[in-house]
Amino acid sequence: MQLNINTIIEGECVDVLSRLPDQSVDLIFADPPYNLQLGGGLTRPDQSVVDGVTDAWDQFDSFDAYDLFTHQWLSECRRVLKDNGAIWVIGSYHNIFRVGTVLQDAGFWIQNDVIWRKSNPMPNFKGTRFQNAHETMIWAGKSDQSKVTFNYDALKAFNEDKQMRSDWLIPICAGRERLKGDDGKKAHPTQKPEALLQRILLATTKRGDIVLDPFSGTGTTAAVAKKLGRAYVGIEQDPAHVRLSRSRLKAITPIEGDMLEIEQGKKSLPRVPFGALIENGWLKPGDRLWSPKKRFNARIRLDGSLTTGEATGSIHRMGAFVQQAPACNGWTYWHYEQAKGGDLAPIDLLRRRYRHEMGLVK
């Protein structure tokens, strides 16, 4: 089966997954059945009935049956993931620990578990347990060798220059975001909020990546992927949910252009040796570089080293030498004249331009 992107495929997840090509997707978000084992109806203090998850797809005869199903879909997911791909699986205390065991047994490598703290969780009406105010998400690479995408700097910018923690406070899906069926009731009992998926895709995908959701439901993952400039593939067995998802997706206008760009750390950028700027004529042997206030200067030699007349070395070593410092980032310390006798600019500016003009970054 050829991978057709930007589509919702109607069918049972294991069957459809088994027909997808090997190593064809970059990220998987899976919201599998939780096997809630509710054991009877749940009522509020006013005796009104809580609309819980009672659908057949969430019911299994035994833990062994649930584990077998989990093994089947996770094995197929691992097969269709690219070598540097990753998976997110969300669950509650009913199932997440069983899923985690199967996940590790299948060869996935856990990067983090992330707690989704619900700012507006359902109360515990019987008063017999703690209020269930969170769900657990496991983020794992295909293997321990996978170089998974992690947009650390983008998340830090999102979080007001603080590291993103592994507990996320996000409201449950409610209000206008909650999709309704023809009867006016919620269309799906476990619809996830778009904010949750947006943070996941911001954190662990790149523009143009292919995102797979094997339990697509009403298409939240696909909707967020389309909005953020990612390709999507959804798998859903309920025809009504498929129709609702496709209608939902038609109404989404993707974010375009520069607004899709995110903060990138220097570690994620292609390395450019200083000599490459000389090879390509951006700087020339004999050109003079300056410290920020023109206190020091050095001239460029043919091999990309600098000389002050009394010492020679790389841009980093010579930056440290003239300052009598233990280390120096030569890219930001040394400046070039933008025109003869003109304003100074750091040579890092040339490196950035080189990356773009040489097509090393998008």
C-alpha to C-alpha distances, 142 to 2, 72, 187, 338, nearest whole angstrom:
22, 16, 33, 47
* Predicted local distance difference test score (pLDDT) of residue 58: 57
Neighbours of 63 (CB within 10 A): 12
Listed as ranges, residues in the chain with pLDDT below 70 are 1, 36-58, 184, 187-188, 265-268, 341, 362
* Predicted local distance difference test score (pLDDT) of residue 62: 87
Q: Vertex 228, ends 237 and 150: CA angle to 5°? A: 95
* Predicted local distance difference test score (pLDDT) of residue 37: 64
* Predicted local distance difference test score (pLDDT) of residue 132: 87
d(CA 41, CA 58) in angstroms, rounded, equals 15
Chain centroid to Cα 87, Å, comes to 10
* Predicted local distance difference test score (pLDDT) of residue 105: 96
C-alpha to C-alpha distances, 125 to 107, 116, 189, nearest whole angstrom:
40, 21, 18
Chain centroid to Cα 101, Å, comes to 23
Catalogue the E-assigned strands of the chain.
Answer: 7-10, 25-30, 81-91, 109-118, 134-141, 167-170, 210-213, 231-236, 288-290, 297-300, 306-307, 312-313, 335-337, 344-346
Q: What is the pTM of this model?
A: 0.74
* Predicted local distance difference test score (pLDDT) of residue 280: 86
